[in-house]
Amino acid sequence: METLFRLDGKVTAIIGGASGIGEAVAVGAVAHGATVVVLDANAAAAEAVAGRLPNASAAALDIRDRQQVQSALDGIVAKHGRLDIVVCTPSINIRKRILDYSLDEFDRVVAVNLRGSFNVLQAAGRIMTTQRSGSIVIFSSIRSQVVEPCQSVYAMTKAGIVQLVRTAAAEFGPAGVRVNAVGPGVVETPLTAPIKANPDWYEAYANKNALNRWARAEEMAGPTLFLMSEAASYVTGTILYADGGWLAVDGRFTPPE
């Protein structure tokens, strides 16, 4: 029981590990004994994160490029002999109403959030089903379940990720590979910086959840590390919401007693 959450000897790829939630997960994984490869479209930032951590290295990766994803993960196997864990955090959002969305904007969001996640699932799945072990964690969102105006394409992709994860869990499970998702609520990251810059918007989101505050990026590390670790050895095909109770609270009005 003392080692359930340890990742000693686990070769781990953290995609999107150069900032925000991905960086927090990379720090947590190293602290729990993993050998970490930080992969990110921002190569310089990835190198900076890896440079601060023991047992860590970095490389550039654009998850929109299917061959690049496969080559990056194959390269980790060539260097370390195996690939035990893959975490994929990147996403983008263009907040516009459906009637104002251009096809180019639609394609940009889908290319990163949905096609990118598919590319990672496919590449990691090929490696892990062959070695007959592994854990894959893909990031979804509360927007897979609830929406608001101007979240159409983002919400669509995050719902799609849940179904990709479930299907991958069904297909990879017989080979001993687990696949899960994390569904954050509102987290202070570069992606949500425009919201934080608007005090009314920021406060409205804080007041929507049960804890009445935003999450820090490092608060997403614990749920992710759980799914990565042997503590979750019988957990697959699920989404773990780390949302401060957002999905549990129905409305903003507290009725009188």
Catalytic residues: 154
∠ at Cα 17 (12, 18), nearest 5°? 145
Count Cβ neighbours within 10 Å for each residue of 67-94 and write b for 16 or more, e otherwise: ebbbebbeebeeeeeebbbbbbbbbbbb
HSE (side-chain half, CA atoms, 13 Å) at 173: 14
Where would I find the H helices in 132-188? 152-172
Tell me, rounded to whole angstroms, the distance of Cα 8 from its chain centroid: 21
Q: Which two tokens stand for residue 148?
A: 């608001």
Between the CA of residue 75 and those of 17, 30, 61, 138, what are the distances in Å? 17, 20, 12, 20
One-letter amino acid for residue 168 of the chain:
A
- Round to whole Å and give the CA distance between 98 and 11: 42
Token pair in block for residue 92 = 């983008």
How many whole angstroms separate alpha carbon 26 and alpha carbon 28? 5
